[in-house]
Structure formats: structure tokens, C-alpha cells
């Protein structure tokens, strides 16, 4: 097990209290595994992803354990975390336009990243590493001498992926890596990411609001709703035997490619206010099956046919 997240709670301090963005989340990640993390905007996916690198804003407070190779990095200070970031755990952000410094040549972006972990590396060697990973993502190494603003959106995202992978981290966290790109470029980028992930035998956490994006890539999928991990199972079980009413609704809301049935189904209602979250299940007010206990008590994680599901409907099945 490369990563174990235990009882993770993340609260943002705001003027009127705390936003409970992540509550009591437990997840494990194995070597070479891809875990998809899905849910609609505001459910806490990015907060969880960023907490693993401790790059949350100052008003965020993390409780719980984040065990990376059995060491609790949740307790690490900034200096210790700097040794982890990029080299052991790296992140691909959703918008390469803002996360790549446009006034640096691409080769200098690589040199900066490599030298921050290997200060004594000869420049020639660092450039060779950079050229190799750039060609792996389909960019001619000669373009290292250009600035990132000279690249198209899809090419910038390839540069971003190459930069995140150049130090061969054990875990890469990809946060909506293709959201800002058109569908064809999205597919190309995901193919590159999958190929490199397999070649380098990395583990990946793929964060997205789009269940379709994780369909082919993820081994397991975690579904988040309003700060709770409501369901966790293999990708197959999530698609073919979804257990949580929210997962079921999310699957129904995927636009159908069949022209005859092009109805996009929305889930009625809104996400709850996370400053004053509901007492029980956070999906209860939108759930067609809600019973009284759902409004009163947070469901535990029930284990049903190999799926972890946080829902009172499974109370009688098995705890
Ligand atoms: N800096 C912050 N201060 C206060 N609250 C925040 C802050 N950042 C995020 N939040 C809140 O935390 C909750 C989770 O946000 P988060 O961005 O993790 O969700 P998300 O699922 O990744 O959404 P998106 O896909 O839109 O980024 C939301 O209610 C959000 O408003």
C-alpha cells in the first residue's frame, strides 16, 4: 500500500465559522493503481487532492492521517513536504495557463524542478531527462527553448504532465487535467497519461466531475458528495452496480450518446451549506429514498458485496 488516508477531516476557517470540506474520509491507494475521485463541483475533491501535498490555503486545517509509505506526512512541516512534492508525489493542475510561468522558457521550468531536488545535477543531464520526458508526451525536445505561452492549450497540458513526471514520482494527482481542452485533445492527453503511468508504474489519483473521463482509466472509483466519500468500489461495480442513490443519480445524469434519448437529467436540489452541514446524510434532502434516520444520523460505511457505501439503505445488509 503506497498511500493510506485515515479519518481525514479538512475545515476552512471562514468569517462565520468553518467550511467542513472533507469529513472522515478513508481511502487506500496501491502501487500502480489509478483511483478516480468523482463528484460535482464543491464536493471536496480538490481539497482532498491538495491536502496530500499540503498545498491548501492557510485557512485550511487538516486532521487525520496521510500515510505515504507508512509515514504520516500530515504531520510534516513545509521543509519536509518540499522533499516530497514533485519527487514522490506530484500534481497536474487543471489549468496549465495559470500554473506554468509564461515568462520562463520550457527548459528553465524543467531545470528549476529538477534542481530543486538534485541541486548538483549537471545541466546536460537535467536537459537530457527533460528532453526524454517531453518526447514521451509527444513534444519535440527542440521546443524546450520556447516559452509556454507559445504552446497551444493541449501542448501546454502535455508540458505540465512532463514536468509533473520528470522526477518519476510514485504518486501523481491529476486534478481535472483535461477540463479546459476540447474533446479530441482530452482523449489524446488521457491516452498519454495512461501510457506514462503504466510505463513508470506510478499510482494515480484522477480527480474529475465527469464519470465518463474515469471510465477507462480508473481501477477503483471513489464518489464524493458534500465532503463525504459516499461510495468506493471497483470501476466496474460503480458503473454496473452503483449502490449509493447519489452515484445512481450521477450515472443517470451522464448525457446519452444515443440521439433518440438525448435528455440530460439533473439531480434536483442543491449541495448543502458546508458551514452548517445537515445532521445526518448530506444527500438526504435530495434523495428519493430518504427515511427518517437519514436526516438524523450520518451513516457509517457499510460494506456491501465489496463496495463501501455510506448509506442507511444498506443498514440491514452488513456493517
Ligand atoms: N480557501 C477556501 N476557503 C473557504 N472555503 C473553501 C476554500 N476553498 C474551497 N472551499 C470550499 O470547500 C468546499 C470544497 O471545495 P473544493 O474546491 O475542494 O471542491 P471540488 O469538488 O474540488 O470543486 P471544483 O471541482 O469546483 O474545484 C466548497 O464548499 C468550497 O466552497
- Encode the chain (319 residues) as per-residue pLDDT tens digits: 999 999 999 999 999 999 999 999 999 999 999 999 999 889 999 999 999 999 999 999 999 999 999 999 999 999 999 999 999 999 998 776 677 888 899 999 999 999 999 999 999 999 999 999 999 889 999 999 999 888 888 888 889 999 999 999 999 999 988 877 778 878 888 888 888 888 889 999 999 988 888 888 899 999 999 999 999 999 999 999 999 999 999 988 776 555 555 455 667 888 899 999 999 999 999 999 999 999 999 999 999 999 999 999 998 875 4
Cell 443498514 locates to 315
Half-sphere exposure of 125 (CA within 13 A, CB side): 8
pLDDT at residue 229, rounded to an integer: 98
Using CB distances shorter than 6 Å, the residues near ligand 1 are 12, 14, 19, 21, 39, 41-47, 57, 59, 209, 274
Task: Indicate the Cα dihedral angle 193, 197, 202, 207, nearest 10°.
Answer: 30
Q: For residue 10, how far is its CA from the centre of ligand 1 (angstroms)?
A: 11
Nearest in space to 10 (alpha carbons), one of 76, 56, 60, 72: 60
By most ligand atoms within 8 Å of CB, the mutation choice from 8, 11, 36, 42 for ligand 1 is 42
Q: Which atom of ligand 1 is nearest to the CA of 94?
A: 27
Measure CA 287 to chain center.
Answer: 25
pTM above 0.90, yes or no: yes
Q: For residue 41, how far is its CA from the centre of ligand 1 (angstroms)?
A: 8
Nearest residue CA, atom 7 of ligand 1? 12
pLDDT at residue 262, rounded to an integer: 47
Q: Is the ipTM of this complex over 0.90?
A: yes
3-88+169-314 belongs to which homologous superfamily? Answer: P-loop containing nucleotide triphosphate hydrolases (3.40.50.300)
pLDDT at residue 209, rounded to an integer: 86
pLDDT at residue 267, rounded to an integer: 79
What contacts 78, CB < 8 A, 6 or more positions away?
54
Q: Which atom of ligand 1 is nearest to the CA of 274?
A: 29
Cell 477531516 locates to 9
By most ligand atoms within 8 Å of CB, the mutation choice from 41, 47, 222, 282 for ligand 1 is 47
The 10 Å Cβ neighbour count of residue 60 is: 19
Cα(181)–Cα(147) distance, integer angstroms: 20
Nearest residue CA, atom 28 of ligand 1? 42
Amino acid at each position: 500500500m503506497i498511500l493510506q488516508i485515515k479519518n481525514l477531516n479538512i475545515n476552512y476557517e471562514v468569517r462565520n465559522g468553518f467550511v467542513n470540506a472533507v469529513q472522515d474520509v478513508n481511502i487506500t491507494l496501491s502501487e500502480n493503481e489509478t483511483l478516480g475521485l468523482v463528484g460535482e463541483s464543491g464536493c471536496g475533491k480538490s481539497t482532498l487532492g491538495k491536502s496530500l501535498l499540503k498545498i491548501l490555503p492557510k485557512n485550511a486545517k487538516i486532521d487525520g492521517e496521510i500515510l505515504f509509505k507508512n509515514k504520516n506526512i500530515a504531520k510534516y512541516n513545509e521543509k519536509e513536504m518540499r522533499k516530497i512534492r514533485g519527487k514522490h508525489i506530484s500534481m497536474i493542475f487543471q489549468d496549465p495557463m495559470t500554473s506554468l510561468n509564461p515568462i520562463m522558457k520550457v527548459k528553465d521550468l524543467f531545470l528549476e524542478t529538477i534542481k530543486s531536488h538534485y541541486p548538483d545535477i549537471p545541466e546536460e543531464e537535467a536537459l537530457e531527462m527533460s528532453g526524454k520526458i517531453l518526447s514521451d508526451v509527444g513534444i519535440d525536445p527542440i521546443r524546450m527553448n520556447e516559452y509556454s505561452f507559445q504552446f497551444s492549450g493541449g501542448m501546454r497540458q502535455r508540458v505540465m504532465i512532463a514536468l509533473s513526471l520528470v522526477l518519476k514520482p510514485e504518486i501523481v494527482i491529476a486534478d481535472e487535467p483535461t477540463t479546459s481542452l476540447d474533446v479530441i485533445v482530452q482523449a489524446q492527453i488521457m491516452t498519454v497519461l495512461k501510457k506514462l503511468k503504466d510505463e513508470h508504474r506510478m499510482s494515480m489519483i484522477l480527480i474529475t466531475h465527469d464519470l465518463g473521463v474515469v471510465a477507462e482509466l480508473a481501477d477503483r472509483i471513489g464518489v464524493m458528495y458534500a465532503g463525504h466519500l459516499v461510495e468506493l468500489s471497483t470501476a466496474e461495480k460503480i458503473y454496473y452496480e452503483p449502490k449509493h442513490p447519489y452515484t445512481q443519480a450521477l450515472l443517470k445524469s451522464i448525457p446519452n450518446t444515443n440521439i433518440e434519448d438525448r435528455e440530460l437529467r439533473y439531480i434536483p436540489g442543491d449541495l448543502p451549506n458546508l458551514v452548517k452541514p445537515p445532521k445526518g446524510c448530506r444527500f438526504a434532502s435530495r434523495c428519493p429514498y430518504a427515511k427518517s434516520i437519514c436526516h438524523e444520523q450520518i451513516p457509517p460505511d457499510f460494506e456491501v458485496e465489496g463496495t463501501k457505501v455510506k448509506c442507511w439503505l444498506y443498514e440491514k445488509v452488513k456493517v
